[in-house]
RNA sequence: GGGCUCGUAGUGAAGUGGUUAUCACGCCUCCCUGUCACGGAGGAGAUCACCGGUUCAAAUCCGGCCGAGCCCGCCA
């Protein structure tokens, strides 16, 4: 028997159809009883007025898997303008245990309830409002892939199991690997640069692992990163423009195609500049502006403090009409060995893309000259003979063009697009310093 | 890693020393032919996170411990 989806029911007035899905809501009025079914397409209401059919549902809880066969009748009073009548009930999978949360009601996202949210994730992800977040997430990455594929980027996959921590920076997880010590990749940095030597333009959407003991609203230990690397770029500006274009394309499209869902999720109105430009301020400029505006002196900081990120984003939205802003030219002491340095200026050719007060991407130009790389690694106190650098340096030794790219936090993009308070809310099964389940 | 805050039925909350710990939703029974946060009557469900202390008396005060949240540092 062919299955009809909830969203197709209204198109089949007068036909006898079978809908299959989960029991979503029972409204029992005595002789007249409304049973709402949920499937992947949404909800459909059925009218059960036969006592024997209704009795099949006695003692069965929300979540029971049902197959309902009935005649589609147009009725203004039903959701979607149609409902099933003369329904025959078949219980496919009975559920007799009462669920620990109410699936048909919006799930609380207050910070003090996040523990409950994730403890009951298996069930609350059945809530239609909750599902919107992850449908939007799926499409955000779909649009990103569309943009990058159209611009001749090749999607790659790189290993997450690595031999040694070599990149520096974030703390890495260590694990036993048949008697050796392996680490989980904190980013695909080395591999994506290596791949520039083959494909010029590459990207990866995958997991990265950070063992930082950070307990904040913007940190995960397992995060989803979009990593992009682009060869033969003329300068840093070309990389900044490409990431800005991609981000704006993605945001405009998601606000267009998911307008209703974003509204019901209380997402902020999207503001982007008419000319598609993302304003840029140097770190030094932001320190000066912030210090003048708030009387808090940050001019000695090497990076932006979180409040400065919020402040400059607020400034960009109110004064320049855009939710996106670049903080560029970090002080040279903040750079890593693979960054392109502007020694005269004392800065690194590195920009952070801020979206609604949060850093969502780092966008640097890389040093591509083999001799300079080796020197910068030595200056950083690294052992260039180390196994972990051997293969990486081969790519440079045998010819890498000037290149740059970005590490882009997908979880944070989803969070800020929707206006969620905590990055974990944008993640199905978040991993943080004290959560490994579910 | 540092600081601050919070743990009360399945879920969310009220209760700041005094009889049997209160309410809403959910659940169970019954009534109800147009519900969509259905309505009405009744019912079950809580060792007040845990351990110890103060007190005639502790959910409430004190100490410890476990768990959680937020901010900072660091990062995407």
Whether A216 sits with its Cβ under 7 A from any strand B atom: the answer reads yes
Q: Is the pLDDT of residue A222 over 70?
A: yes
Instruction: Please report the pLDDT score of residue A271 as a whole number.
Output: 94
Cβ of A408 near strand B (distance < 7 A): yes
What whole-number distance in Å separates Cα of residue A105 and Cα of residue A124? 9
Residue A393 is given by DSSP the state H
What is the spatial distance between Cα A278 and Cα A322, in angstroms, rounded to a whole number? 7
Task: Please give the pLDDT value at position A168.
Answer: 57
Q: What are phi and psi of A230, to 5 degrees?
A: -135, 120
pLDDT of residue A223: 93
Is any atom of strand B within 7 angstroms of residue A381's beta carbon? no
Q: Cβ neighbours of residue A117 under 8 Å, at least 6 residues apart?
A: A107, A108, A109, A124, A425
Q: Compute the distance between CA of residue A49 and CA of residue A246 in angstroms, rounded to an integer.
A: 54
Closest CA to the C1' of B1: that residue is A213
pLDDT at residue A167, as a whole number: 58
Band the pLDDT of A213: cuts 50, 70, 90: confident
Q: Looking at the predicted structure, is the pLDDT value of residue A385 above 60?
A: yes
pLDDT of residue A3: 94
Q: Do residues A408 and A243 touch, judged by C-beta distance below 8 A?
A: yes
Q: Does residue A340 reach within 7 angstroms of strand B, measured from its CB?
A: no
d(CA A387, CA A429): 35
pLDDT tens digits, one per residue of A290-321: 999 888 888 888 888 888 999 999 999 999 99
Give this complex's ipTM.
0.85
A256-265, A384-393, A406-415, A426-435: range with lowest mean pLDDT: A384-393
- Residue-wise pLDDT tens digits, A82-92: 999 999 999 99
Q: Cα–Cα distances in Å, from A33 out to A24, A44, A46, A129, A314?
A: 13, 14, 8, 25, 52
3-state secondary structure of A417: helix
The reply to whether the CB atom of residue A39 sits less than 7 A from any atom in nucleic acid chain B is: no
* Residue range A58-79: mean pLDDT, rounded: 93
pLDDT at residue number A437: 83
Q: How far is CA A407 from the centre of its chain?
A: 13
pLDDT of residue A249: 96
Q: What is the mean pLDDT of residues A331-360?
A: 89
pLDDT tens sequence across A45-58 = 999 989 899 999 99
User: What's the burial of A437, exposed, middle or buried (CB within 10 Å: 0-12/13-18/19+)?
Assistant: exposed
Is strand B within 7 Å of residue A108 (CB)? yes
Confidence of residue A425 (pLDDT cuts 50, 70, 90): very high
Q: Is the CB of A303 under 7 A from strand B?
A: yes
Rounded (5°) CA angle A288-A291-A292 = 85
pLDDT for A172 equals: 86
Per-residue pLDDT at A215 exceeds 90: no
CB A273 within 8 A of CB A321: yes
Note the CA–C1' distance, A85 to B33, in angstroms: 13
Percent of chain A with pLDDT over 90: 71
Whether residue A80 is predicted with pLDDT greater than 90 in this model: the reply is no
Tell me the average pLDDT across A204-229.
91
Protein-contacted positions of strand B (CB under 7 Å): 1-3, 6, 10-13, 25-29, 31-36, 38-39, 67-76
- Residue A380 pLDDT greater than 90, yes or no: no
The pTM of this model reads: 0.92
| Cα–Cα nearest to A284, from A275, A272, A276, A292 | A292
Q: Helix (H, G, I), strand (E, B), or coil: what is residue A222?
A: strand
Work out the average pLDDT over A2-30.
94
- Given pLDDT bands bounded at 50, 70 and 90, which one contains residue A15? very high
Does residue A103 have a cis peptide bond before it, meaning omega lies within 30 degrees of 0? no
A113 touches strand B (CB under 7 A): yes
Contact A365, A236 (CB under 8 A): yes
β-strands A201-209, A222-231: how paired? antiparallel
Per-residue pLDDT at A151 exceeds 60: yes
**Neighbour tally for A100: CB within 10 Å:** 12
Q: Is A267 left (phi over 0), alpha (psi -120 to 50) or beta?
A: beta
Name A74's bridge partners.
A82
> Would you say the C-alpha torsion A18, A19, A23, A25 has a positive or negative sign?
negative
pLDDT given for residue A166 in this prediction? 60
Q: φ, ψ for residue A208 (rounded to 5)?
A: -130, 155
In sequence order, the β-bridge partners of residue A366 are A339
How many C-beta atoms surround the C-beta of residue A393 within 10 A? Answer: 18
Q: What is the pLDDT of residues A25-34, one digit of tens each?
A: 999 998 899 9
| Nearest nucleotide from residue A60 CA, by C1' atom | B27
- Neighbour tally for A171: CB within 10 Å: 15
């Amino acid at each position: 028997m062919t299955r009809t989806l909830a969203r197709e029911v209204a198109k089949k007035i007068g036909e006898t159809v079978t809908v299959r899905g989960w029991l979503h809501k029972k409204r029992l009025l005595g002789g007249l009883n409304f049973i709402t079914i949920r499937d992947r397409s949404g909800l459909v209401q059925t009218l059960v007025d036969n006592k024997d059919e209704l009795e099949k549902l006695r003692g069965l809880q929300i979540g029971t898997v049902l197959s309902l066969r009935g005649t589609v009748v147009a009725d203004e009073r039903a959701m979607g303008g149609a409902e099933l009548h003369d329904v025959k009930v078949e219980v496919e999978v009975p559920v007799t245990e009462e669920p620990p949360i109410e699936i048909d009601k919006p799930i609380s996202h207050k910070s003090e309830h996040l523990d409950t949210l994730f403890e009951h994730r298996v069930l609350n992800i059945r809530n239609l409002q909750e599902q919107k977040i992850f449908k939007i997430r799926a499409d955000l990455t779909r649009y990103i892939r569309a943009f990058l594929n159209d611009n001749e980027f090749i999607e790659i996959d790189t290993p997450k199991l690595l031999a040694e921590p070599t990149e520096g920076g974030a703390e890495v997880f260590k694990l036993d690997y048949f008697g050796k010590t392996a680490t989980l990749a904190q980013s695909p940095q080395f591999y994506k640069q290596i791949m520039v030597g083959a494909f010029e333009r590459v990207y990866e959407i995958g997991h990265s692992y950070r063992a930082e003991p950070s307990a904040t609203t913007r940190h995960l230990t397992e995060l989803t990163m979009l990593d992009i690397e682009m060869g033969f770029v003329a300068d840093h500006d070309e990389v900044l423009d490409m990431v800005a274009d991609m981000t704006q394309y993605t945001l405009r499209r998601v606000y267009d195609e998911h307008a209703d869902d974003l509204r019901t999720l209380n997402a902020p109105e999207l503001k982007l500049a008419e000319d598609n430009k993302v304003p840029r301020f140097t770190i030094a400029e932001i320190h000066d502006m912030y210090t003048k505006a708030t009387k808090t002196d940050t001019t000695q900081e090497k990076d932006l403090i979180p409040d400065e990120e919020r402040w400059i984003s607020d400034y960009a939205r109110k004064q320049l009409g855009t939710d996106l802003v670049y903080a560029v030219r970090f002080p040279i002491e903040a750079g890593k060995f693979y960054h392109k340095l502007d020694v005269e200026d004392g800065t690194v050719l590195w920009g952070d893309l801020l979206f609604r007060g949060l850093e969502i991407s780092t966008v640097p130009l890389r040093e591509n000259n083999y001799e300079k790389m080796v020197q910068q690694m030595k200056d950083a106190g690294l052992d260039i003979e180390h196994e972990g650098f051997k293969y990486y340096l081969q790519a440079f030794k045998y010819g890498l063009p000037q290149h740059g790219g970005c590490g882009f936090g997908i979880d944070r993009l989803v969070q800020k697009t929707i206006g969620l308070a905590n990055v974990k809310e944008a993640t199905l099964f978040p991993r943080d310093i004290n959560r490994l389940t579910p």
